[in-house]
Amino acid sequence: MQTSQSLFSRAKIHIPGGVNSPVRAFKAVGGTPPFITKADGPYIFDADNKRYIDYVQSWGPMVLGHNHPSIRQAVIDSAENGLSFGAPTELEVQMAEKVSELVPSMEMLRMVNSGTEATMSAIRLARGFTNRDKILKFEGCYHGHADALLVKAGSGALTFGVPSSPGIPADFAKHTLTMEYNNLESVDQAFAEYPEDIACIIVEPVAGNMNCIPPVDGFLQGLRDLCDQYGAVLIFDEVMTGFRVALGGAQQKYAIKPDLTCLGKVIGGGMPVGAFGGRTEIMEMLAPLGPVYQAGTLSGNPVAMAAGLASLEQIQQQGLYQKLTKNTATLAEGFKALAQKHGIPMSVNYAGSMFGLFFTDIEKVTNYQQAINCNTEQFNLFYHGMLEHGVYMAPASYEAGFMSAAHTDEVIQQTLDIADKVLANVAQ
Ligand code: PLP
């Protein structure tokens, strides 16, 4: 930790909080974040050369594990030809074809540089298409840091949006309605109140930003039906779930077809990439075909496309998602059994290769209020115990964990052996 500690002190001089994205600063769990020098397969290594089994996986992109040789080689090969042209390339065509093949609801799509850009652009497009201003999101769902989406719910079903960060004018947020996740009734009421004003619903089809909360039966279908009934656009934010909970994302797993889909993370194989796309009729509203403006100097960057394409090629391997799903269940159920053994109340959720551990006696956590009422003290003890013994998990109790194809049975068993010791300590 010594080198990380001195790097963290240096970092704090010129970088706010010492990090380029807040969660990395370990504020929720306390302590010094390990500074990472390299990663390979299921492991990351810190500046003091300590190895960790990694269940953050760069917050989702590395579904194949770190430093996959095919992706690395694709980046090297592409970089030989130059880094950016600001002009069309065949790689972008291949990427669009591949994404449409794997996620058929994305009849047309546009590449961007992050998940935030994808959701921000999809919202603008939905508003342009419907000529309506209001958007509906869910409490605890994170869709990146664009102004209109960085809005918390007040209590009650139909509160107007209140910005959750200074710097967002209340006027920007007032068109954002925030409802309870997995509560269809609240959405129904919102549409009854504003039948002609809601442009779209944006939802994480498996919520991964309030720990991991899958949709309850009928929730996603209910959203689809309400959007159809009221002429609103259904946007699935699959930045996290895309190519992760199933090859075709959550829309394939739950068999619901959204109008628009946002992607990020896995689609870039570790490079800064996002995409949004969907029904042709809606996508044709985008400039230069239509009036809704959206652009990007580095969008469709060739090196990023090469990495993303290599990642999408590899995830098509036979049996990959079955294995990921099985391993995730083994790990999550293993944690739960160990918690029980040590008399610690714990509930687990998982979907595909996403999982969440909740230190709570609630049997199934289904919404934000339940998620934030978990025992953070126990989580923090657990977190630091795992870290000390070489297991790197998301440094906040409200973040999902990720399994990769590089996590072997042996690595999973090692993780559970460590958890056994750590949970025994937490129980004391
Ligand atoms: N949407 C979801 C569901 C996410 O999980 C995230 C990031 O974690 C985003 C959007 C924003 O993506 P990015 O951080 O690439 O801007």
**Structural domain harbouring 198:** 69-314
253/88 Cα distance (integer angstroms): 33
In this predicted model, what pLDDT tens digit does every residue of 27-77 receive, in sequence order?
Answer: 999 999 999 999 999 999 999 999 999 999 999 999 999 999 999 999 999
Asked whether residue 77 falls in the same domain as residue 205, the answer is: yes
In this predicted model, what pLDDT tens digit does every residue of 275-315 receive, in sequence order?
Answer: 999 999 999 999 999 999 999 999 999 999 999 999 999 99
Distance 217 CA to ligand 1 centre (A): 24
CATH no. for residue 90? 3.40.640.10
Share of the chain above pLDDT 90, in %: 91
Distance 238 CA to ligand 1 centre (A): 9
Final residue belonging to a domain, choices 268, 295, 314: 314
Give nearest CA residue, ligand 1 atom 1. 143
Distances (CA, A) of 268 to 16, 51, 67, 147, 304: 27, 25, 13, 24, 6
CB count within 10 Å of CB 284 equals 13
- Closest ligand 1 atom to 264 CA: 15
162/151 Cα distance (integer angstroms): 6
Per-residue pLDDT tens listing for the chain (428 residues): 899 999 999 999 999 999 999 999 999 999 999 999 999 999 999 999 999 999 999 999 999 999 999 999 999 999 999 999 999 999 999 999 999 999 999 999 999 999 999 999 999 999 999 999 999 999 999 999 988 888 763 333 344 566 778 888 888 888 999 999 999 999 999 999 999 999 999 999 999 999 999 999 999 999 999 999 999 999 999 999 999 999 999 999 999 999 999 999 999 999 999 999 999 999 999 999 999 999 999 999 999 999 999 999 999 999 999 999 999 999 999 999 999 999 999 999 999 999 999 999 999 999 999 998 999 999 999 999 999 999 999 999 889 999 999 999 999 999 999 999 999 999 98
Asked whether residue 370 falls in the same domain as residue 336, the answer is: yes
Asked whether residue 283 falls in the same domain as residue 339, the answer is: no
208/403 Cα distance (integer angstroms): 13
417/421 Cα distance (integer angstroms): 7
Quote ipTM for the complex: 0.99
Asked whether residue 255 falls in the same domain as residue 323, the answer is: no
Asked whether residue 381 falls in the same domain as residue 409, the answer is: yes
Q: Which residues are catalytic?
A: 142, 237, 265
Q: What is the dihedral of CA 118, 23, 245, 386, to 10 degrees?
A: 170
Give nearest CA residue, ligand 1 atom 12. 115
Residue 15: partners with Cβ closer than 8 Å, 6 or more residues away: none
Asked whether residue 246 falls in the same domain as residue 168, the answer is: yes
Q: Pull the structure tokens for residue 418.
A: 């460590």
Asked whether residue 47 falls in the same domain as residue 110, the answer is: no
Which residues have C-beta atoms less than 6 Å from ligand 1? Answer: 59, 114-116, 119, 142-144, 204, 208-209, 237, 239-240, 264, 274
Residue 18 zone, left/alpha/beta (φ > 0; ψ -120 to 50; rest)? left
Asked whether residue 143 falls in the same domain as residue 99, the answer is: yes
252/285 Cα distance (integer angstroms): 26
Asked whether residue 37 falls in the same domain as residue 170, the answer is: no
Asked whether residue 267 falls in the same domain as residue 356, the answer is: no
Quickly tell me which residue has 């906040």 as its tokens.
396
349/366 Cα distance (integer angstroms): 9
* Pocket residue to mutate for ligand 1, from 112, 119, 236, most atoms within 8 A of Cβ: 119
322/318 Cα distance (integer angstroms): 9
Number of domains in the chain: 2
Ramachandran angles phi, psi of 41, nearest 5°: 55, -120
Distance 229 CA to ligand 1 centre (A): 29
117 three-state secondary structure: helix
Distance 343 CA to ligand 1 centre (A): 35
Q: Is 199 exposed, middle or buried (0-12, 13-18, 19+ CB in 10 A)?
A: buried
Asked whether residue 94 falls in the same domain as residue 33, the answer is: no
pTM to 2 decimal places? 0.96
* Pocket residue to mutate for ligand 1, from 209, 245, 273, most atoms within 8 A of Cβ: 209
Asked whether residue 200 falls in the same domain as residue 262, the answer is: yes
Final residue belonging to a domain, choices 281, 314, 347: 314
How far is CA 140 from its chain centroid? 12
Final residue belonging to a domain, choices 268, 299, 314: 314
CATH no. for residue 389? 3.90.1150.10
